[in-house]
Structure 1
Amino acid sequence: MEAGKKLGGRYKIVRHIGSGGMANVYLGHDLILDRPVAIKVLRFDFRNNKDALRRFQREALSATQLIHPNIVGVYDVDEEDELQYIVMEFIDGTDLKKYIDIQGRVSPEKSIHIMHQVLSAVALAHKNRIIHRDIKPQNILIDNQDRIKITDFGIAVALSETSITQTNTLLGSVHYLSPEQARGSMATSKSDIYALGVVLYELLSGSVPFDGESAVSVALKHFQEPMPSIRESHPEIPQSLENVILKATAKEPLDRYATCEEMMEDLDTCLSEERRHEAPFMPVSLLQETKVLAPLSAEVVAKADLDKTLVSPPPSVKAEPIQEYESGREAAVGKKKRKKWTLVLFLLLLLGLIASFFFFFYNNQDADAVTVPDVSNMDQASARLALEDAGLVLGDITEEYSDEVEEDFVIETSPKIGSSVEAGDEIDLIISLGEELFMLLDYEGQAYESVLEDLRKEGFTIERTHEFSSEVAEGNIISQSIEPGAEVKPSETTLSFLVSDGNESYTMRDLSGYTRKSVEDYAGQYGLSLTVTEAYSDTVAAGLVVSQSLAGGTAFVSGDALSVVISIGPEEPQVVSFSRTITIPYLAAAVSEPASESSNSQGNENADSSSSNEPNHIVIYMQDEDHVISDVFREFDISADEVVTLNFRILEGSSASYRIERDGEVISEASELTQ
């Protein structure tokens, strides 16, 4: 699909960003809401494939049913010119597979943080009866803030080398395939849990647990070989964390976690000091003893066949003796057996006599004694009838709370059930008030881990969601699902807490070229404390950012201080004034007259030195801030020496010059004049 094409008159294709088993994904732009979107378009070769169309539509339906911060949101589903497409939330980041390839092994703490988000999303899907069936790092997106988004819900086809099919139905990407799927069974929610265990293994180790030359060989390993121990190659990982992987990836679904919430609760405490040295997880199916039957020998089989043909004669009929031909050794063995049976019969008779003696002794000792009947878990009326039938009388009634016996039913009697009492004695009953109600406190602002431990001891089911908060410290509770003061039964109550992830961190932009208004908008969007100052700049145009206190690319949180310097343009230099006083000499023009022969020499000298009184023509040129040297500054005539003062105005750092001509001849000039 070409860049620039519009779908639905609203979504403009920007560029191709990825391909899947049956769809291509493009970066698009929503022209109405002015935001980036991801557009998944069904490939051309699947348009006439009814199964592919059904799965593609199923993904759209599944995703629109799931609203969760860790599931990619679906904005629109449509068709144009036989193009089936889904418009989804665009995640500016990468998938978890590439993240692991780039980052390598992920620390246990960060792995648990990532898995919490994944488990929370998958748990919601399971509650909506939606099984992902293709959980793998390629379908888990992660942005620059380590926020997780799961995609491709409802899709079960991916035509890659690491996928296998059976009767045209995809069983899942083979490296994350559960044993039951590999055997051809239906995928269940526990199949997703198996895949989640493999993803956790890959996060911690940087590689998948099973690999092979073909998809089939990898699938066989999933149900034939035990899960490799991650601690053999990475002993620093605690056994309690490896146990989470082992339980999630147990071969038998019954040995795995029942729900994603259960796996999440196990992850909550797996790094605690109390669990650091716990024993390795062992599936229940492996703990059951296997009985091995020894094969029967030929002699035993032959004897069994003979025994089947023997029929004992009736007691009234005397059995005919059986002629036996046996050796002396066999005859001796037969006699020993008969003696042994005689001894056994004698002992049995003796025991019977002793038992009869004690029976008659105790029955005759107190003919009026009765046994307190078992009235536990009966209501009060039924218990009274049972006591009266036994010849006893109902005594006092007391009440107490019980987690095991339903309200208004008998917990115990006094004397105890089964005790021997006299007929007509009173029997007191202890009646259950049911499970004791627990009054919830206000847990907002408290440490989640501490509250979790206390409430679990009371029998509560605890759920946890996450949210960034600038007001509540990381790890503390922001809100609770049930109001403080409510009285509830712990065993029947699920309590949800919204827990703070602390201040959300962001990456600072390079604000070069931003206007003051743009900077103020940016600071307001992320809650920054902004300080703006102004300064001259010879390189940055007036009104634009010159510098910023938080460099572009650094991390910051809401509330951080940001100082920005805005250019007011280049600084205008100062004007300097000074003057120069110059004397312009007058030069009289000489006049020559012929001398007579009779004139004496004195007369000749006077005649030669005579001059004219004609004026000199003076032109002055000046160069400064207000004048240029090519223009005449002043022009006048003089008949005697003249004193002139030239006033200059120059910018600080520059210089002035002048030139004076007398009758067209330069008589004075100067340059590089400063104050």
Structure 2
Amino acid sequence: MEAYQTIQLKTGTVIHERYRIEQVLGRGGSAITYLAIQLDTRRNVTVKQFVQYEERFEQEVAILQQFSYLEGVISIVDSFYEDETFYIVMQYVDGVSLAQYLKDNKTMRAEDVIPLFLPIMKSLGLLHKQGMIHRDISPDNIIIDFHNRLWLIDFGAAGLSSSRRPALKERVSDQTVIVKAGYTPLEQYRKDGKIGSYTDIYALCATMYTAFTGHTPPDAITRIPKDDIEPIPTIPKWQWEALCKGLSVNPSDRYSNMGELIDGLTVASDPDIPVTVYPDQITDYTRQMLGYNNEEESVTTHTDKVLMKSRRYHIIFGIILVLLIGISAGITYYIRHNALNDSSKQKTEQSNTSNARTETATKDVSTRDTSTQITTETITETVTTQVSTTQIQSNTNQSSTEKDYQIQEDPDYDEFRLGD
């Protein structure tokens, strides 16, 4: 406690010229966790201050930064070394630990446990493929936020799987022993213990067991004489068997990777059971994405092989069925398309014939109109000529009459005479 008081940061302290410490969130064996404000963005962040610097922390940060997009895993914002102290700045999640939630509510609803843990299982599977093992999964290191989502925190104890240590030059002696009663698998009690995906699988299944029942499972060491554990009555038998397999004391009896655990917890292995839970979450692709080909971390039983073969047959049958439906739909479309084309051609021919008849009738009417016009014009000219002739004759007669009946008086004669 004295050591914490001497190095603990005070409220209002600014580190790295970017983060202002607000309050202490928690203390662990190797670090102190603070709530801080990032000054340039004004957002809340979590700052972890390590008591003692270790080179492997930087290796872990480098790997985790590549997976900041993973659902259910706290992302790293920054990391730096200042005043002989190593700091990691992480995303802040507003919520409570699963341990506190279970303390207040005893258990989680049985139907909610597996769906809530699925994102963490998938993200852990991808981390495992990079050789990173969390090694400290428990209700204390899982936060449930106010949107009812689970977040895996505290990668301070994370280490490399035994198969990846030589590649990254990490010695067995560099591995710190992390023990948490009820959640630590047997291989983790020894400093030279061989760890892998199955190590986190045990701890995660133990955490889910606590969420189902409200109490911590028996410690792995106490189960060595008899690998037995009290069953959970609120879940189906096949789900309980899958959880039990993940909680096996012997690592070789557990699932070898997270993909197999997901299948075991979500797909009923009994073909007589017509309904499986969360079918949209589970496919062979999920197992292939999260699975391993490493002989050290892959243990497949005869039953698993039979089930995998059965699933492949179902997939092949489904593909064939889809192809047959597609071919049938194509043939139907072809027949209907040809029928529509024939009908369209017939309508086009009828339309052309009708248009030709209409044009002929129009020409006939036009010819008749032209003849009528010519005849009318001839008659008009004739009548006009006749009228003009009559008018000339009438004018001539009128002039003659006026001449014949005009009386002229000659001054040289005593008699009246007619004019010339």
Q: TM (normalized to structure 1)?
A: 0.37
Say whether the 8 Å CA contact 1:205–1:230 is kept in structure 2.
no
Provide the residue aligned with 1:56 in structure 2: 57
Distance in 1 separating the partners of 2:103 and 2:263: 28
Q: Which of 173, 182, 207 in structure 2 is aligned with 1:175?
A: 182
Return the offset for 1:207. Answer: 0.9
Return the offset for 1:13. Answer: 0.7
Say whether the 8 Å CA contact 2:37–2:43 is kept in structure 1.
yes
Distance in 2 separating the partners of 1:92 and 1:237: 30
Q: Which amino acid aligns with 2:61?
A: A
Provide the residue aligned with 1:191 in structure 2: 199
Q: Which amino acid aligns with 1:65?
A: Q
Say whether the 8 Å CA contact 2:64–2:76 is kept in structure 1.
yes
Distance in 2 separating the partners of 1:110 and 1:272: 22
SS at match of 2:81: strand
Say whether the 8 Å CA contact 1:10–1:30 is kept in structure 2.
yes
SS at match of 1:78: strand
Specify whether residues 271 and 116 from structure 1 end up closer, same or farther in structure 2 by C-alpha distance, changes over 3 A only: farther
Provide the residue aligned with 1:83 in structure 2: 85
Return the offset for 1:464. Answer: 12
SS at match of 1:228: coil
Q: Which amino acid aligns with 1:195?
A: A
Say whether the 8 Å CA contact 1:96–1:142 is kept in structure 2.
yes
Specify whether residues 272 and 146 from structure 1 end up closer, same or farther in structure 2 by C-alpha distance, changes over 3 A only: farther
Aligned pairs for 1:378-457 (under 5 A) are 449=279
Asked if 1:461 is matched to 2:260, the reply is no
Distance in 1 separating the partners of 2:197 and 2:116: 20
Return the offset for 1:147. Answer: 1.3
Return the offset for 1:251. Answer: 2.4
Return the offset for 1:185. Answer: 1.9
Return the offset for 1:219. Answer: 5.0
Q: What CA deviation, in whole Å up to 9, does each residue of 1:69-107 have, x standing for no partner?
A: 211010110122223211100000012111211121112
Return the offset for 1:168. Answer: 7.8
Q: Which of 15, 18, 22 in structure 1 is aligned with 2:26?
A: 18
Asked if 1:240 is matched to 2:242, the reply is no
Distance in 2 separating the partners of 1:156 and 1:464: 24
Specify whether residues 31 and 264 from structure 1 end up closer, same or farther in structure 2 by C-alpha distance, changes over 3 A only: same
Q: Which has the higher contact order (CA 8 A, sep 6+)?
A: 2
Say whether the 8 Å CA contact 1:171–1:181 is kept in structure 2.
yes
Asked if 1:28 is matched to 2:29, the reply is no
Aligned pairs for 1:107-118 (under 5 A) are 107-118=109-120
Say whether the 8 Å CA contact 2:127–2:133 is kept in structure 1.
yes
Aligned pairs for 1:223-622 (under 5 A) are 223-231=224-232, 235-269=233-267, 275=273, 449=279, 460-462=284-286
Q: Which amino acid aligns with 2:285?
A: T
For the aligned residue pairs, the C-alpha RMSD in angstroms reads 3.4
Distance in 2 separating the partners of 1:229 and 1:92: 34
Distance in 1 separating the partners of 2:127 and 2:55: 19
Distance in 2 separating the partners of 1:192 and 1:462: 18
Provide the residue aligned with 1:554 in structure 2: none
Provide the residue aligned with 2:140 in structure 1: 138
Return the offset for 1:274. Answer: 5.2
Q: Which of 125, 131, 138 in structure 2 is aligned with 1:123?
A: 125
Asked if 1:200 is matched to 2:229, the reply is no
Distance in 2 separating the partners of 1:22 and 1:79: 16
Structure with the higher strand share, 1 or 2: 1
Provide the residue aligned with 2:45 in structure 1: 37
Say whether the 8 Å CA contact 1:55–1:155 is kept in structure 2.
no
Q: Which amino acid aligns with 1:261?
A: G
Q: TM (normalized to structure 2)?
A: 0.57
Say whether the 8 Å CA contact 1:63–1:153 is kept in structure 2.
no
Asked if 1:70 is matched to 2:55, the reply is no
Q: Which amino acid aligns with 1:140?
A: I
Q: Which amino acid aligns with 2:234?
A: E
Matched positions, count: 269
Q: What CA deviation, in whole Å up to 9, does each residue of 1:211-240 have, x standing for no partner?
A: xxxxxxx45214334231223xxx333212
Return the offset for 1:133. Answer: 1.5
Return the offset for 1:175. Answer: 2.0
Specify whether residues 272 and 31 from structure 1 end up closer, same or farther in structure 2 by C-alpha distance, changes over 3 A only: farther
Return the offset for 1:17. Answer: 1.1
Provide the residue aligned with 1:643 in structure 2: none
Say whether the 8 Å CA contact 1:19–1:25 is kept in structure 2.
yes
Q: Which amino acid aligns with 2:225?
A: Q
Return the offset for 1:135. Answer: 1.4
Identity across matched positions, percent: 28
Specify whether residues 167 and 85 from structure 1 end up closer, same or farther in structure 2 by C-alpha distance, changes over 3 A only: closer
Distance in 1 separating the partners of 2:287 and 2:83: 46
Q: Which amino acid aligns with 1:17?
A: L
Return the offset for 1:141. Answer: 1.6
Say whether the 8 Å CA contact 2:133–2:158 is kept in structure 1.
no
SS at match of 1:230: coil
Distance in 2 separating the partners of 1:239 and 1:256: 17
Say whether the 8 Å CA contact 1:63–1:74 is kept in structure 2.
yes
Specify whether residues 154 and 125 from structure 1 end up closer, same or farther in structure 2 by C-alpha distance, changes over 3 A only: farther
Distance in 2 separating the partners of 1:138 and 1:258: 25
Structure with the higher helix share, 1 or 2: 2
Distance in 2 separating the partners of 1:152 and 1:79: 19
Distance in 2 separating the partners of 1:3 and 1:272: 58
SS at match of 1:461: helix
Specify whether residues 222 and 95 from structure 1 end up closer, same or farther in structure 2 by C-alpha distance, changes over 3 A only: farther
SS at match of 1:246: helix
For structure 1, the 5+ residue unaligned runs are: 47-51, 158-165, 211-217, 278-446, 466-489, 492-675
